[in-house]
Amino acid sequence: MCLSIFKHILGGSLVGNDYYIDQYVLSHDEDRILYEEMHPWGAGAPTDDEDIYFKVVDLNDGSIVTLFKGPQQFFDIYWK
């Protein structure tokens, strides 16, 4: 159920024309999802970089807060 709400908030897909969702995790209270949104740039070569955004979406009202934006990083995401 939460994943379908999440996908609806994001426009029906975890993959858009200029982004894709790499990781996501549901909060303990099941009201929010923390996710990593990747924005690749370049011609698709293996050496191309990506910008990443770590965001939280509130499943109750659809609001989205960006926690981090920066160049490609490899972090695991989790709620503490």
For 32-51, the pLDDT digits (tens) are: 999 888 877 666 555 556 78
Q: What's the pTM?
A: 0.74
Distance CA 64, CA 56 (A): 6
Strand order, beta sheet including 32-40: 20-26, 32-40, 50-58, 64-71
Output the six-digit token pair for 62: 């659809």
Q: Which domain holds residue 38?
A: 2-71
Total domains in the fold of the chain: 1
pLDDT at 29: 92
Say whether pLDDT at 56 is over 90.
yes
Residue 31 lies in a domain: yes
Residue 40: exposure state from Cβ atoms within 10 A (0-12, 13-18, ≥19) = middle
Residue 7 lies in a domain: yes
Residue 80 lies in a domain: no
Residue 41 lies in a domain: yes
Residue 77 lies in a domain: no
Residue 54 lies in a domain: yes
